[in-house]
Structure 1
Amino acid sequence: MLNIPAPDVAAPGVSILAAKGNTYVFMSGTSMACPHVSAVVALLKSAHPDWSPAMIKSAIITTASVIDHFGVLIQAEGVPRKLADPFDFGGGHIDPDKAVDPGLVYDMNARDYNKFLNCTDELLDNCKSYISNLNLPSIAMPDLKDNITVRRTVMNVGPVEATYRVTVEAPTGVIVTVEPSMISFTRGGSKSMMFTVMFTSRKRVQGGYTIGSLTWSDENTHSVR
């Protein structure tokens, strides 16, 4: 199993104007959420022409909301009803206004994707460690029995001078340690900072997935979840 959770985000898919045959109709459904996300991507690229696809994806995921329009946690459809989790909506429900100013982003380049492709085709060795450290704005740890440490790098796309502190909601049965717990950006300094996340299991057998979150906040405008 690859250490990559899916889906990435949720988006509205109701009453989308779609081409059908020689006419246009309003359609609803899961696949109809794609035009909404595509439009948001186009708007972000217009606002930030120098952003890479990975930066745009990161901005959308890390600013997504887990609260619905009633101000309560999003519920998943089905019987019985339950609170939605990343297997239902990824990072949450897309929020274009926040995505245009995410504060921090997780970036990757073409070489990263190329190596990932070769790993999935089993053309390279030591792929498990590489995939765990792929600079995605999400982390999955299948079969956690002891402890695993992964690396991530964030890039500052907000104010030149900023300080972010981390808040962790640890998954049940797992101890999560982030180093450093505070990162600062200064004028003339590096725009990127690496941090490590150690996951330590409290028991040898988890028996299923548990969910947590890691959020970098400047305690003002930006909350990068």
Structure 2
Amino acid sequence: MACPHVSAIVALLKSVHPDWSPAMIKSAIVSTASVTDRFGMPIQAEGPQRKPADPFDFGGGHIDPDLAVDPGLVYDIDPKEYIMFFNCTLGPKEACLEFEDNLYQLNLRSSAIPNLKDSNTVWRTVTNVGPEKATYQAKIEAPMGVRMSVEPSVISFKKGGSRSATFKVKFTAKQRVQGGYSFGSLTWFGNCAHSVRIPVAVRTVIQDFVADTA
């Protein structure tokens, strides 16, 4: 039942914002979703053993159409970036070497680091679709065993100025373990009551094993 509900919300957003790209619409839906249920409790994963759900279970969370219509910030992507990404990930590995460091740089409304050994830095760009004059403060929920920092931690938009802002997120392994994924988030809180949240998933490794990556 998820597909028809999401399709209807996409149609709603497109009718309100006909100039938005598919990436902007998806960003608005994901970044304004809630990670709690209608009772304010953490979402539970479905299965024989009940557990608190993580981003691999719920993605961004429960969709809120009212918030998605006015997200404040969105993560947009040029289609050419998708082409480079897919050519790199699906093509011969030799052809991917020059783009290897760019695989994490696709401007997605999430961040996943599957093989964090020491540190890794990703860049993201947000586009202001809210009031022209706005300030956003970053709030970090770092995954367990990982140090996470954002620079700059405050982004501001001025009337008549640029509608885009780029920031970097650095992930540093605090524990040298061959572990599973741990989860966190990065949320931009705006002075106009906007809250723009993206999920984060990080897996720390000491070395790559076939059994871990197969």
TM range (shorter): 0.7 to 0.9
Query: Which of 67, 86, 94 lines up with 1:117 in the alignment?
Result: 86
- Could you tell which deviates more after superposition, 75-84 or 165-174? 75-84
Question: 1:46 Cα deviation (Å)?
Answer: 0.5
Q: Deviations over 1:97-124 (max 9, x none)?
A: 1100000000012211111221122254
| Preserved CA contact (<8 Å) 1:145 1:206 | no
Matched, 1:141 2:141: no
Extract unaligned runs of 5+ from structure 1.
1-12, 14-32
Aligned position for 2:26: 57
1:40 correspondence with 2:9: yes
User: For residues 89 and 14 of structure 2, what CA distance do their matches in structure 1 show?
Assistant: 29
- The share of aligned pairs that are identical, in percent, is 64
Answer yes or no: is the 8 Å Cα contact 2:134–2:191 preserved in 1. Answer: no
Q: Does 1:163 align with 2:135?
A: yes
**What is the aligned length?**
194
Query: Using the alignment, how far apart are the partners of 1:110 and 1:76 within structure 2?
Result: 33
Which 10-residue stretch deviates more, 117-126 or 178-187?
117-126
Deviates more, 1:70-79 or 1:166-175: 70-79
Contact map agreement 1:144 1:206 (CA 8 A) in 2: no
Per-residue deviation at 1:59?
Answer: 0.3
Match of 2:152 among 180, 185, 189: 180
Give, in whole Å, the separation in 2 of the partners of 1:101 and 1:204: 41
TM-score of the two chains, using structure 1 as the length reference: 0.83
Measure the CA separation in 1 of the matches of 2:191 and 2:134. Answer: 10
Task: Give the secondary structure class of the aligned counterpart of 1:205.
Answer: coil
Does 2:196 correspond to 1:224? Answer: yes
Distance of 2:117 and 2:191 partners within structure 1: 34
Any residues of structure 2 matched to 1:5-44 within 5 Å, and which?
13=1, 33-44=2-13
Paired residue type of 1:181: S
Partner of 1:209: 181
How far apart are the structure 1 equivalents of 2:113 and 2:60? 16
Q: CA deviation digits over 1:137-172, x for unaligned, max 9?
A: 100001111000110000000000000000000000
Residue 103 (structure 1) aligns with:
72
Question: Residues 172-195 of structure 1: CA distance to partner in whole angstroms, max 9, x if unpaired?
Answer: 000001000000000111100000
| One-letter amino acid of the structure 2 residue matched with residue 38 of structure 1 | S
Residues in 2 aligned to 1:127 and 1:60: alpha-carbon distance in whole angstroms: 29
1:68 lines up with 2:37 in the alignment: yes
Change (3 A) 1:186 1:206: farther
Moved over 3 A (4+): none
In structure 1, C-alpha distance between the alignment counterparts of 2:169 and 2:102, rounded to whole Å: 15
Structure ranking higher in strand proportion: 2
Quote the Cα distance in structure 2 between the aligned partners of 1:73 and 1:47: 31
Tell me, yes or no, if the aligned pair for 2:134 and 2:192 is still in contact at 8 Å.
Answer: no
